[in-house]
Amino acid sequence: MRSRRHLPIITSVIILIIGTIVIFNFHSNWKAQEIPINNPMVTKITQDLAAIDLKSIIHEAEKTVIQIEGQNEQSTFTGSGFLYNEKGDIITNAHVIKDADAIYVRTANAQIYPAAVVGIGEDIDVAVIRVPQLASRTPLSIATEHIAEIGDEVIALGSPHGFQNTVTLGIISGSDRHFNVDGYNYSNVYQISAQISQGNSGGPLIKRETGEIIGINSVGTQDGTIGFSIPIVEVLDQITQWSNEAQNEQLEFSSITDLIRSSDSEQVLDGAVYLTEYFLENISIRDYVGAYTLLGSSLQLDSSYQEFRNRYINIVSLDFSEVDSTIIENNRIKTVVDITIERNVPNKQKTKKETKPYEFIIGYENDQLKILSYKEQAE
């Protein structure tokens, strides 16, 4: 009777010992097969993920960054801004628009719209303009309570010298800077290593780690080595008040037709080049919806979005050369570019890369530049 009573206990002890041995061996083998943290393969994967993340942040930010064009009887001038809310409000600097009799904006997909002033600072270099046609767009996230620290990595976007959606990278190199420029009081501003030059003013300063907007790029030194950005938290209350009080029926919008008629040939050519490059960049980053919206109505009628997407879904990488442009008949523009595409070969574990010249025909449709046709260019 005593041996029967001890049998289950002995059996349990044996099972526990065997289980411990198995778990120990499994853990040892697993540790032996682990890739060391300093293994080059791990480093390469981490670097690739970081690069992809940066590219995605920039691409999403570009959709909300706006090029602003002001006109008066004497001149035309440009600056930058970024979408603030779903009313179509755009944040920029006051000095960008203060002398403008008419204001227009150019979006990342080369659309042009008239804008009206919602609010403009007298001693703070901040302003808000509104474009009702952008009311359905989703803005980039704003860090409403964030104060950046020295050493934080940042991304500055804008349109320096008319080059739309130019990106510069840097860090917060100073904080709590105070000075006055052209009658504007800059208080508690960030000093950044990213360049701010003519046309960059009003663009967003984005924290690299989170992708959120933390500042408004405002002024830079003459040599371009240092820039200054207004912390968004310092002016957000004023911006919100302007936006809440403005009613569309009380705002004055310029005529878009007047702008298109006054556009010179060089400006139209630059717009066509930018539209071509932006289309190819969208394909490269797999933003097929963004690329499809750049097509004219006839192309969209000939090909559904799903058909368009399927045409490019197997692309592994896409690179392109500098774009050449010429004006052709009916005020249209032909752009020519060499495109290098690497594709997955269906049903095979390999890719194929080839470079071919393509031509795009760009023209105005409903007062907006659109891709009217594109094809491989004949040799």
Residues involved in catalysis: 95, 125, 201
* Contact in structure between 369 and 293 (CB atoms under 8 Å): no
> CA-CA distance, 60 to 287, in Å (whole number)?
10
CA angle, 371 then 373 then 375, to 5°:
125
* Contact in structure between 175 and 148 (CB atoms under 8 Å): yes
Give the pairing of strands 76-83 and 65-71: antiparallel
Q: Helix, strand or coil for residue 242?
A: helix
- Provide the token pair at 79: 């600056």
- Distances in whole angstroms, Cα of residue 367 to Cα of each of 112, 222, 273, 300, 370: 8, 37, 17, 17, 9
* Contact in structure between 325 and 335 (CB atoms under 8 Å): yes
> CA-CA distance, 195 to 189, in Å (whole number)?
15
> CA-CA distance, 217 to 159, in Å (whole number)?
11
